[in-house]
Amino acid sequence: MKYDRTTSRKLILSLAFLGLAVSIPSWHIPSVKWIWLTVFVFSVCNAFITYHVVINKHTISYTIKLFGLKIYNKKIIHTDVIKITFKRIGWNAKLAVIKVRKGLSIRVGEFKPNDVYKDLIVFCEENEIPYKKTKDYKIIENMG
């Protein structure tokens, strides 16, 4: 199953343009000008990042795209997964941290549709991978 996550573009772009507009009167100072332009460029790039997770029977594929171009791609085989920890982030959001043998852990949070966590648990059970649900995660899970 394929899951997607995008950033809230309207909010990020609004704040980037607002910050740029507010900083223009102080552009006579060169360092201020370059700092604000750098912040603006990073904000625009951040607004167009998308994340994709594909969970198959024995593999998990994790992809990050910027403006539709693939900038990071990782395919995880079930034998490379050490464990998956399910946590709570924020007031009512879930997060899964996939710890792998080599490389950085993968954070799976706020993906649509919300069935990603159920599929990760099925992935763990089918491939005999240990997983842990924190107490806070269980509270959110019981809320529905």
- What is the residue-averaged pLDDT of the chain? 89
Residue 88 has pLDDT above 80, yes or no: yes
pLDDT recorded at residue 107: 92
In which band, very low, low, confident or very high, does the pLDDT at 144 lie, cut at 50, 70 and 90? low
Sequence-separated (6 or more) residues with CB below 8 Å from residue 49: 6, 7, 64, 65, 66
Instruction: Return the pLDDT at 44.
Output: 87
- Tell me what pLDDT residue 75 has: 94
Give yes or no for residue 5 having a pLDDT over 70.
Answer: yes
Q: Averaged over 90-116, what is the pLDDT?
A: 90
Closest CA to 87 of 76, 79, 97: 97
